[in-house]
A and B are shown apart, each in its own frame.
Chain A
Amino acid sequence: MSTTTADSFAAPGPGTPESTRPVKAATLAGAWRTFLVRRVVGLIVNLALLVLVTFLIVQLIPGDPATAIAGESASLDQVELVRTQLGLDQPLPVQLWTYVSGVVQGDFGDSYRYRQPAMDIVMTAVPYTLTITIAAVVLLLVLGIALGMAIGVATRGDRRRWLDLSFSVITGIISSIPTYVLATGFVVVFAVLWRVLPPAYSPAYNIGAAAILPIASLSIGGICSVARIVRRETAVILEQDYMRTARGWRLPTLTLYVKHMLPNLLTTALTLSGIILTALLGSALITEAVFAWPGLGGVIVQAIAVDKDYPVIRAAVFVIGLISLVMTLIIDIILGIIDPRTLGGKRD
């Protein structure tokens, strides 16, 4: 759909005798091209920064990084081994060069603990994290927008004040429960008391059943947050002139809300969902701990807290950063398709 829309705009524009910007006003193809070029350049810059950040994780360790990584009880030989393994005995520019040329080939070095390439360990965990995160994002966008819109329409112009109040109170309480607390609560209720769902991931359980609780605990708070924002935005959009225009055409309720209001809501909701999504990725790292979910959260926590496994930490941070960059880009592209106005300007 995106390409057809873009292409139809690329067709020779109507002659615009009095438009002040005759060329620009007629096509969106130019806007798309500028947008994509800007985003690709942005992506490359961000990737470079990401590589730099992951590189610095080791260099910024206070004191002597090699001693800190090897541990207090390590012998001098072990410390020196770590030093040579991480190339810390080399001058900084050489270290950076070695690191960057490795990263370009997807090589972050071998895990200290597992004696395998760190990237392999991270990539094994990625699908698990992506599964619950993407499912949660889709759920929270679809349900959050539907709920917020329904409440916003039902309470427009101060109708049903009781509904407005109970909605605010209930969603306020739910959205302020930290996801890991919610997750723990779910385990108590569904796995310990009612015994209907598995308490944690294990090969013995059906993976679908084991994923229900992680996805639910990740998405429910977000659904409430999105619904609150959408409800407020609905109230704003209902007051807009173009909604009055649509009412002036006496359009039926469904057309009014689904066709004329929803696209404008989506712009806001998707703009926010970028922020929500990165927050969600962060919560996922912690929530995984509750369910022993074999995703990136477990990998990175184990690597930091127990193993001091810096190659794995670097690889995991890089991959998580990459995921959030790519997802943000995808959301911006979807936004551009829905509302081409977002192509031109910077969003804040």
Chain B
Amino acid sequence: MRFMFIVTSAHAGPPPPALLEAMHKLADREIKAGRMLDNGGLMPLATGAQVRIKGGQLSVVDGPFVEAKEVIGGYAVFELQGKEEALASATEFMRLHKELFPGWEGTCELRAFAPGGP
């Protein structure tokens, strides 16, 4: 089963070097174990933009977005046996944050890909 992990947080600013290093090692291990297919960190929302539809109208809004509270910081795509494995994996990832980024709060959301492609 393929999963996407999406990490969101209200916390702005880069993670401490120790966490970055630990996350790199974890990603390296997961890639070598054949579980992680893809991953990436995202630039702050302020540098992004949104294309919206509201009331039948298309509009483009540049960042920053004052109303945005939780922001997606990164994602990863995994091929895993099932939800239990996804949970175990996400827990390990978040445990790194707990240990190496005191005070940080956030969410790692795991979502299974819909079967049979787009």
Q: Are these two chains actual partners, yes or no?
A: no
Using a CB–CB distance below 8 Å, which chain A residues touch chain B? none
Using a CB–CB distance below 8 Å, which chain B residues touch chain A? none
